[in-house]
Structure 1
Amino acid sequence: MSSITRTQTIERTMRPWGWYETISEESGNKVKRIGVHPGQQLSLQRHAQRAEHWVVTRGTATVTLDDSVFELPPGGHCDIALGQVHRLANRTQEPVEIVEVQFGSYLGEDDIERLQDDYGRT
């Protein structure tokens, strides 16, 4: 069995709710790690040009998909369809981390329509 050595430095981008790191990006897909601080949440949002798949790697995430709200434990996952209203939240006192895989024709950070935001970014 061989070991993998990380030679690339991955930049962490800080946000009021936590942080994200882009792990991989190529035409049509992007992979990110996202961390959400205890008691924080991302904006209620949707994307016009991408779908997403989330896998919880640490903590218990609270997920909003359209009118449904549910919790995902470590190993739990969900799919967010193109244009679907969604939110990632951490309602616990422990950090939450997910891996997000984005698929679509455009994967820029400006493909976010914020419908509700705790930090005045709507």
Structure 2
Amino acid sequence: MSIHSTITPAVSAVPADAPLYEERPWGAFWSLDRGAAHQVKRIRVNPKGRLSLQYHYHRAERWVVIEGTATITVDDAVMKVQPGGVVMIPKGAVHRLENLTKTPVEIIEVQMGDYLGEDDIVRLDDAYNRPKREARA
């Protein structure tokens, strides 16, 4: 007699080889949770660091500032966001987070979409001279 498991791993919009932690020129991120149509990350942006000006084809994002003061651009709007502040980034919106302060900024990022790989980043401007499209690992 054999026992077969009926538990099937959940399908995820995040590629199986996607990193759980990665350092970037501006700071680092940790993937906290992944599901069929979502990913939750904790993102730390070092003082004077900034993410690329970018957009995504496959996902929308919600950013919740949990530490520091973030300068966030979404399309033509630029705002300073304090801890507890929430910013919605629709799919296709041009966006960036900058840390113009002397202390780290941390956010919780909730990604929602049908594909959540790092190669869905299209960079329009980047202070660190990275490629326009993120390469898939």
TM-score greater than 0.5 by the shorter chain? yes
Whether 1:117 and 2:126 are equivalent positions in the alignment is: yes
Question: How many equivalent pairs are there?
Answer: 113
- Separation in 1, partners of 2:36, 2:98: 28
Q: Indicate the residue corresponding to 1:30 in structure 2.
A: 39
**Distance between the aligned counterparts of 1:54 and 1:28, measured in 2?**
16
TM-score by length of 1: 0.90
Q: Tell me the amino acid that sits aligned with residue 18 of structure 1.
A: G
Across the aligned residues of Structure 1 and Structure 2, the Cα RMSD in angstroms comes to 1.1
Structure 1 residues 50, 11: closer, same or farther in 2, change over 3 A?
A: closer
Structure whose CA Rg is larger: 2
1:76 is matched with: 85
Partner of 2:28: 19
Equivalences for residues 20-59 of structure 1 within 5 A: 20-59=29-68
Cα distance between partner residues in 2 of 1:79 and 1:67: 14
TM-score, length-scaled by structure 2 = 0.80
Whether 1:93 aligns to 2:93 is no
* Percent identity (aligned): 53
- Provide Cα deviations, 1:45-87, integer angstroms capped at 9, x if missing partner: 0000000000000000000011111100000011000000000
Amino acid at match of 1:29: H
Q: Name the structure where strand makes up a greater proportion of residues.
A: 1
Which aligned runs of 4 or more in structure 1 are off by greater than 3 angstroms? none
- The separation in 2 between residues aligned to 1:25 and 1:68, in whole angstroms, is 29
Alignment partner of 2:103: what SS? coil
